[in-house]
């Protein structure tokens, strides 16, 4: 497994957070991976991550340097070995635009953190600031689980 793409709806809150956290933790674990993120929607194309997501992440020591929102493209399903989604809607949206032979590459992020007791990373965009710390808690747990799965 050499390349991982994290996907959410807008690519400004959850998947940029996943990209930042997973990049740091995979470096700490000594893994050399190509990591990126994208959205199923393109409304925020070219924008940096949401200020609230960056504030919460930077407080925990993560870097969002160089991140810019983009919409998923068909070639992503060829380039990336694994496409990790935040919720069931992301999963449905992606499966509706890619060919069935790559469906196996798409995984729910929280599948790597069964102890979290929930299957979706909730969208924090319209909620209060606490939502971003909750996203970070879930993303940190799932990142550790994914790193363990990759090390097997
Ligand atoms: P994300 O959050 O999918 O975690 O990046 C959202 C960001 C923007 C919108 C929805 C969700 N939006 O509707 O613009």
Q: Catalytic residues, which ones? A: 8, 14, 123
The H-or-E segment that residue 51 falls in is: helix 51-59
Q: Please give the average per-residue pLDDT across 14-41, as a whole number.
A: 98
Give residue ranges with CB within 6 A of ligand 1.
Answer: 8-14, 43, 123, 125
Q: Which of 90, 83, 136, 146 is nearest to 113 (CA)?
A: 146
Please write the tens of the pLDDT for every residue from 47-95.
999 999 999 999 999 999 999 999 999 999 999 999 999 999 999 999 9
Distance of alpha carbon 81 from alpha carbon 116, whole angstroms: 25
pTM: 0.98
What percent of the chain stands above pLDDT 90? 97
Please write the tens of the pLDDT for every residue from 103-121.
999 999 999 999 999 999 9
How far away, in angstroms, is 50 Cα from ligand 1 center?
9
């Amino acid at each position: 497994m050499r390349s991982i793409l994290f996907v959410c709806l807008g690519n400004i809150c959850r998947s940029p957070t996943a990209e930042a956290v997973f990049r740091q933790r995979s470096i700490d674990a000594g893994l050399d991976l190509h990591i990126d993120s994208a959205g199923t929607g393109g409304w925020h194309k070219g924008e940096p991550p949401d200020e609230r997501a960056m504030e919460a992440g930077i407080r925990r020591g993560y870097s969002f340097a160089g991140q810019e929102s983009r919409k998923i493209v068909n070639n992503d399903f060829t380039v990336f070995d694994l496409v990790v989604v935040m919720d069931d809607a992301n999963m449905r949206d992606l499966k509706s635009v890619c060919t069935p032979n790559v469906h196996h590459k798409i995984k729910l992020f929280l599948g790597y953190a069964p102890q979290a007791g929930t299957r979706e990373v909730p969208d924090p965009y319209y909620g209060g600031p606490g939502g971003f710390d909750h996203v970070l808690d879930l993303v940190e747990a799932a990142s550790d689980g994914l790193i363990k799965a990759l090390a097997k």
